[in-house]
Amino acid sequence: MDEFALIRKCFERRRRGKGEILGIGDDAALLAVTPGRELVAAVDTIVAGVHFPRGYPAGDVGYRALAVNLSDLAAMGAEPRFMTLALTHPDGDPRWVEAFAAGLFEAADAFDVALVGGDTTRGSEIVVTVSVLGESGAGEALRRSTASVGDAVYVSGHPGDAAAGLRLIDEPGDPDTQSLVERFRRPLPRVALGRALVSVASACIDLSDGLVADLGHLAAASGAAAELELDRLPLSAAITRRFDDAERLALGGGDDYELCFTVPPPRKARIAAIEAALGLPLTEVGEIVPGEGVRILRSGSATDVDVGGFDHFREIA
């Protein structure tokens, strides 16, 4: 058995996923789809030296490769089911692959996703492509293009914490530092929130590029503009204690993998119950308005904030 065959074995597990008729080992996987539901598919590639620094811990790479995909399914309101993995590695170092698999399966087990196939190749950089398949009820999936003028804009969690954590990643940790770094290293895809928002939210997007950029994508896709009220930003206690520019990190910092969504006013009353059920802050931060772009307000008046120039994974790698 060559080393790559050995590595493929690392990804085989005894337990089968629900609906996994035939998984790893044949030429392709056979998967049962629940009758009457729609398949939701997403794929993401992460490359060493581009999306994560060379030498980044293998377990963190594995966790992240799946978590970013699950965040895309969360933003659609879909339920994750299966994934495939294409892994390119320079030498197939079994220790690296074992640690990578442990991180990948940490995320897979937390969200009940079965690895049903993949491909393993040699190449000059580590490249990880994970594809996920999920399901949603017919016509139920959330989109970014369906917000209307007058809808309220909400965000989950504490945007900016992941970007703050990236800045602190090499520092020894007091508790604030540790909690921020953890938000960067172990993003929590908001799958349960996405499911709960089906038939409540009018549109939804996940935060990978930063609140202003991603809300801008949602507004543009919906043919409208968005207003964002700075006084309402749900800054975490840790980020405000550690950073003078916490607001800028919350607006421009990437890698949060929180959800930003819109809710028509008559349905706003339903948000508090979702917030309580999930134990996750959901904060109204603005409104969809006519026009284009994102306008930032402080106490109701337009203000100029430079949201660029933040530390970003893609920039330090």
**Strand, coil or helix: what is 316?**
helix
Select the residue interacting with Mg ion from 112, 119, 125, 171 (CB under 5 A): 119
Query: Which residue lies nearer to ligand ADP by CB, 22 or 192?
Result: 22
* Half-sphere exposure in the Cβ direction for 294 (13 Å, CA): 24
Number of H helices, E strands in the chain: 11, 13
Stretch that binds ligand ADP, among 50-58, 68-76, 110-118, 150-158 (CB under 6 A): 110-118
Six token digits for residue 9: 């074995």
Of 13, 188, 59, 43, the closest CA to residue 111 belongs to 188
**Is residue 87 part of the contact set for ligand ADP (CB under 6 A)?**
yes
Select the residue interacting with ligand ADP from 2, 14, 25, 269 (CB under 6 A): 25
Residue closest to ligand ADP (Cβ) = 118
**Is residue 123 part of the contact set for Mg ion (CB under 5 A)?**
no
DSSP string of 172-204?
PPPHHHHHHHHHHHS----HHHHHHHTTT-SEE
Select the residue interacting with ligand ADP from 74, 85, 180, 249 (CB under 6 A): 85
Stretch that binds ligand ADP, among 34-42, 114-122, 209-217, 269-277 (CB under 6 A): 114-122
Contact 234, 258 (CB under 8 A): no
Select the residue interacting with ligand ADP from 109, 112, 119, 292 (CB under 6 A): 119
Query: Which residue lies nearer to ligand ADP by CB, 25 or 300?
Result: 25
Q: Of all helices (H) and strands (E), which one includes residue 211?
A: helix 211-221
Q: Note the residues at the interface with ligand ADP (CB under 6 A).
A: 8, 11, 24-27, 85, 87, 115, 117-120
